[in-house]
Amino acid sequence: MTAQPHQQHRTPEEVRASIKDDRSPKALRAAAPVDDHELFDREYAASLDQARVSYDLTPIHDFQTRWWMTAVLKADPDEYRATIEAGERAMSYLARGELPPGAVVVDDAYKARLQEQIDQGK
């Protein structure tokens, strides 16, 4: 499936499907919100420059991974906004030295319970 520009009012499912098997820069840019295109272009150029100088394609692969995740997350603007707001609320709790509601404390007791479930095949 060929990626189409995000601005063509595709559903989140259509945006995500367009980059499921095609993670090329062209497909990723088309899946990204229009407001992100300038940043995408700058980061793509920077990754190409780094790869050219280092003879290592890792910067390009890292760029593609980062922008694939960004396109998937931002495919549904309402869902993305809710995720950001939830993160900001959690950070405000943490800044006050409190645990956010529903937070799981990963301590030795938690690890022991988890290991017990693993050992029991659950």
Question: Does residue 3 surpass a pLDDT of 80?
Answer: no
| Total domains, the chain | 1
pLDDT of residue 4: 46
> In which band, very low, low, confident or very high, does the pLDDT at 9 lie, cut at 50, 70 and 90?
confident
pLDDT digits (tens, 9 = 90+) for 80-89: 999 999 999 9
> Phi and psi at residue 23, in whole multiples of 5°?
-105, 30
State which residues form the domain around 11: 6-119
- The answer to whether residue 1 sits within a structural domain is no
Type of residue at 86: A
Asked if pLDDT for residue 5 goes beyond 80, the answer is: no
Find the helix or strand (DSSP H, E) in which 117 lies.
helix 108-119
- If you average pLDDT over residues 5-14, what whole number do you get? 77
Tell me the pLDDT tens digit for each residue of 10-65. Answer: 999 999 999 999 999 999 999 999 999 999 999 999 999 999 999 999 999 999 99
Distance of CA 16 to the CA centre of its chain: 12
